[in-house]
Chains A and B, each alone.
Chain A
Amino acid sequence: MSEQTNYALEIENLFVEYHVDKEVVHALNGISLKLKKGETVGLVGETGAGKTTTGLSILRLIPSPPGVVRGKILVKGEDISTLSEKQMETIRGNVVSMIFQDPMTSLNPTKTVNDQIAEVIRLHEKIGKKEAAVKAGDMLEMVGIPRDRGGEYPHQFSGGMKQRVVIAMALACSPEILIADEPTTALDVTIQAQVLDMIRELKKKYDMSMIMITHDLGIVAEICDTVAIVYAGSIVEYGTLEDIFNRTAHPYTVGLFGSLPNMDDRTQRLKPIQGLMPDPTNLPEGCPFSPRCPQATEECRTRKPALRNIGGEHVVACHLFKEG
C-alpha cells in the first residue's frame, strides 16, 4: 500500500556496485535524492559520475550480477525493492519512463516507428491493434511528426526526428516520472532547442516529474527547478537553481563553471579542474574530490564529508562549509 506522499520519488542512501574480475566498481556511493511532484531535478556530472546508473536503478534495470544494489528507492511512496518483476513491469513505462541518450540504439531498425510505439502501448494497455496504431499516430503528432510518416523505419528519420520518436514512446503510457538521460546530447543546437522546448511543454501538459540527466549546465539553467551535482557516485551539492548558479559552494561545482567559456568576455582564460575523475574501483579515502581540489586539507583526504545544510534546501558535502 502506498501511503500519501508529496514526493514522486525518494532515493535513500543508494549504493550500486559492480563486481567484475575480482574488482569492485563503486558506481554509486550513498545517493539520496527527493523529487517533488511536478518538479524537474537536474542530475549533473561528468562521464562515469553515476548519473545513468541512478536512472537505471530507479527502473530496477541494473543487471545483477554483476550489479549489487543497496538502499531504498520509493516510487510514489512504494519501495520498489519489494515488488515482483511483474509488478515492476507495470511501473516501467506507466509510472516511470526513461529517454536514452542515443536514439538510434534505442529504436528497433526492423520495425516501423508506428509499430514500435503501438507495441509499447499494447504492452501496458488492454486495447486492440487498430486502436493502438491510432494512439501511436496521436503520439507522433504530439511530438511534431506527421502521422503519415509512422509507416517509415528509423533509418529514414534524422537524428532529431528519431529522438522525437523515442520521446513519443516514453510518453505513450503517460508516465508520472520521466527520466531523460542526456536527451539532446546527440543533437545539433537548433534541434536541441526544439526538443527541449517540446519536453518542457509536454512535462507541463502531463504534469510530470522529471529527472534531467545532463552534463550541460546551460540546459540545467533552462529546464530544471533543482540541481544535484554528482561526482564519483556521490552527490556533492544539491540546491535550487539559484543556490547552484548564484551561491555555488562545492569546489567541484565551482570548477565546472570555471571550465566553461565566458560568453561575456571571450578572452578570459578557462580555469579547468586539474587531474581526472578517480578510478571507481579505487576511490580515494576521504572526499572523492580531494585529489583535484585546490583547497583540500588533511581532513579532506582522510574523512569523507557528509552533506550539510548551508541554508534553505542548499546542501553541500565539503569540509570547507559548516552547517548554516
Chain B
Amino acid sequence: MAEALLEVKNVKKYFKTPKGMLHAVDDVTFTINRGETLGVVGESGCGKSTTGRVVLRLLEPTAGQILMEGQDIAKLSEGQMRVKRKEMQMIFQDPLASLDPRKTVGQIIEEPLKIHNIISSSRDRQKRVLELMETVGLAQRYYSTYPHELDGGRRQRIGIARALSMNPKFIVCDEPVSALDVSIQAQILNLLEDLQQEMGLTYMFITHDLSVVHHFSNNIAVMYLGKIIELASSDELFAHPTHPYTQALLSAIPVPKLENRRERIILKGEITSPINLPKACRFASRCLYATKQCFGEEPDLKEIAPGHQVACFLKDKPEG
C-alpha cells in the first residue's frame, strides 16, 4: 500500500519586490508516496524550482505545512533542520555551477560526510567515497580530478554521488538532465531509476521536459504562475489532459515520429507577471475557452476522477 513520505499542504512562498508581492508559489498541496516520483512541470517562472527549494527549506515558506513522515519540517529550528536535511537532498541542474571548482571529485563527495560528521576516520571516508563513485558509475581514476576536467554527464554523477552520501530518503531533482545531450541524458535517467529501485528513494522531479517527466514520474503536477493547475498520474495526465494549459503544453511537445502527429494548440502570448495577480484564473488571458467567470474568480483544484485534480471552471470543453 502506498504510504505518504512527504505531504505538502497549502505552501506559499511570496517575495517582496519593489513592484509588489511576487507570488512565486501560491498555495500548493501535494503528496509524494514513498518510493515514488512526483514530476513537477511548467514553464520558466511558474514556481517549480521555488517549490523544490521550499520543500527542502532552502527557502523559508511564507505559509503552509511540509510534513516529512508526518513531522512538520517547516517548524523545525535551524539546527534540527540541518540534521533532517540529511534525509532530504537535492540534485541541481547545472552540475558545474553546483560543484566547487577548487575541490577534487573525491573532496566534493566527501564534504557532506565530513560536515555532518558521519564518518570520522579519513580512511573510512575515502572508502565510502569510492563506494559512492562506483554506485553512480564514476571510475575510481577520477577521484583526484577536478570537475572542469570532466564532461557534463560525469559532473552530474558527482552531484548525484554527493546527494547519496547522506543516505537520503527523498531527493529533489531540479532539471537534472536539461544541460545534457540526449545520449547522456538517457544514461543519467537510467541511473536515477536504478538508484530509486535499489535504495527505495522518493523523488520530486522538476523539469520543463514533458517527455522526460512522462517517462520518469508516477504522478505529475502541472504548475502555472505559482499554482498547481492539474495533478494526475502520469498515464492519466497524458491520456486525458483536462486543463486547457496542460492540453496546449502537451500538444506543443515536438514528437520525434512521423506518424500519428497531434494537432498543435498554439497559445497566444506568454506567461504573465506573478506580481499583483488579479483575482481570476491565472491562465484566463491566454486560454482559448475563457469565459466571464474565469476573469472574475479563481478556480480551485477539484477532483474530476480518482486521483485526477484540475483547477478549471470549464466542464464541457473538448477533450485533449
Contacts and interface: CB of A to CB of B under 8 A. Distances in A.
26 contacts: A46-B181, A46-B182, A47-B152, A159-B44, A188-B44, A188-B208, A189-B43, A189-B208, A190-B267, A191-B43, A191-B270, A193-B264, A218-B211, A218-B253, A218-B255, A221-B255, A221-B256, A221-B261, A246-B258, A255-B183, A259-B182, A263-B214, A272-B186, A272-B190, A273-B183, A276-B151
A189 B235 CA distance: 20
Contacts of A261: 189, 211-212, 214-216
Interface in A168-223: 188-194, 196-197, 215-222
A113 B228 CA distance: 35
Nearest to B248: A190
Most chain B Cβ neighbours within 10 Å, of A161, A270, A274, A277: A270
Contact of A219 (B185, B249, B254, B267): B254
Overall SS of chain A's interface: helix
Interface of A: 46-47, 158-161, 188-194, 196-197, 215-222, 241-242, 245-246, 255-263, 266, 269-274, 276-277
B186 A259 contact: yes
A194 B212 CA distance: 21
A272 B194 CA distance: 14
Nearest to A273: B183
Contacts of B251: 193
A257 B264 CA distance: 22
Contacts of A215: 181-182
B255 A189 contact: no
Given A46-B182, A189-B208, A263-B211, A218 B256 contact: yes
A257 B152 CA distance: 20
A266 B257 contact: no
Interface string B169-195: 000000000000111111101100100
Contact of A189 (B182, B234, B249): B249
Contact of B43 (A188, A218, A257, A276): A188
A197 B266 contact: yes
A78 B134 CA distance: 56
B267 to A, nearest CB: 5
B56 interface: no
Given A259-B182, A266-B234, A221 B254 contact: yes
Given A46-B181, A190-B43, A276-B151, A266 B253 contact: no
Contacts of B189: 261, 270
Contact of B254 (A47, A159, A216): A216
B235 A266 contact: yes
B138 interface: no
Most chain A Cβ neighbours within 10 Å, of B214, B251, B257, B258: B257
A193 B252 contact: yes
Given A193-B266, A261-B214, A46 B183 contact: yes
B204 to A, nearest CB: 18
A160 B257 CA distance: 25
A42 B187 CA distance: 25
B153 interface: yes
Interface string B26-63: 00000000000000000110000000000000000000
